[in-house]
Amino acid sequence: MDNPIVVEKKKPMQTKPEKRNELWRKIVKNKWIYLMIAPGILYFFIYKYIPMYGLVISFQDYKPYLGISGSEWVGFEHFRRLFADPDFWMIFRNTLMLFVLQVLIAFPVPIILALMLNELRSRWYMRSIQTLIYIPHFMSWVVIVSISYVMLTLDGGIINSILRALQFDQVNFLLNPDWFRPMYIIQIIWREAGWGTIIFIAAIASVDPQLYEAAKMDGASRLRQMWHITIPAIRSVIIVLLILKIGDVLELGFEHVYLLLNASNREVAEIFDTYVYTAGLRQGQFSYSTAVGFFKGFVGLILVVGANWLAKKYGEEGVY
């Protein structure tokens, strides 16, 4: 006897009022979650999305006394000027070089620190070390650069005093262009490496302890456990943070570089952030500096989308 054919009944399509009611029920059901994220949504809406309207002036010859609605429309004139500027490629090269150094040198340091801290068996000792390496994060760049200045200056700096005591030639770290990038990266690591370990330590804490116990029974050393269990377990977190980091390729931060910038190291230290400050605030070229900021944001967006697509292509979890 043939099996009877079972015909599945299709669910009736929901009308728009039904969809709205269902959405409202979900919101009411999870009202406390939505209430908790509301301040964050308001922050991004007020300080990130509404100001994007101001990008219009990058296509205008903006005059403050005329306002956005009264300023003359010039199209892509400011972008053509940016790409034709003789300093553009110098600024682009400097910005890109500092970003690459951050990714290759500064980005892995919190991961290494987190792995090392995870291997400490004394919880008290681990918390003490964490506290010490967190402290620099709460100092402003003014303090960090000032401390570096006191240590590296030719006039009584401790580093040059040691070099002089060892009968070596003194080094003008602050004015020598060759020392700008190493000094920049060392300061980044000193200030941010400890704070960056928080996310990685939290990710490591979520690893199933039974995996380590099974590895011990198989005779795996501590190094093997780290390489084959810990690192693969936090790989998705590393990739997500790396994708977000790539989005800041042209956004290195104004304050830090500006405090280190001087006439002697400008050829290696001038970046888009300091260039926008000089052109926009000091010279009053509001439309031109906005065009530079627009270009930075557009490049960051393209790189984030590309990096996210590449991560998903190779089976990793992206940002979205």
Q: What tens digit of pLDDT does each residue of 6-64 get?
A: 555 555 555 666 677 787 888 888 888 888 989 989 998 998 888 888 889 889 888 88
* pLDDT level of residue 244 (50, 70, 90 thresholds): confident
Task: Assess contact for 308 and 318: CB atoms under 8 A.
Answer: yes
* CA 64 vs CA 61, 73, 82: distances in Å: 10, 14, 21
Average pLDDT (107-116) is 92
Give the per-residue pLDDT at 180.
93
Residue 160 CA to residue 151 CA, distance in Å, equals: 8
Domain ranges of the chain: 86-313
Which residue bears the tokens 């790189």? 303
* pLDDT level of residue 2 (50, 70, 90 thresholds): low
N-to-C CA span, the chain: 51
Q: What is the mean pLDDT of the chain?
A: 85
Q: What CATH fold (topology level) applies to the domain 86-313? A: MetI-like fold (1.10.3720)
Three-state SS at 61: strand
Token couple for 154: 């030719």
Q: What tens digit of pLDDT does each residue of 123-160 get?
A: 888 888 888 888 999 999 999 999 999 998 888 888 98
Continuous H helices in the chain: 16-29, 31-44, 67-70, 77-84, 88-101, 108-118, 123-134, 141-152, 158-165, 180-205, 209-217, 222-225, 231-233, 235-246, 254-260, 266-269, 272-277, 286-313
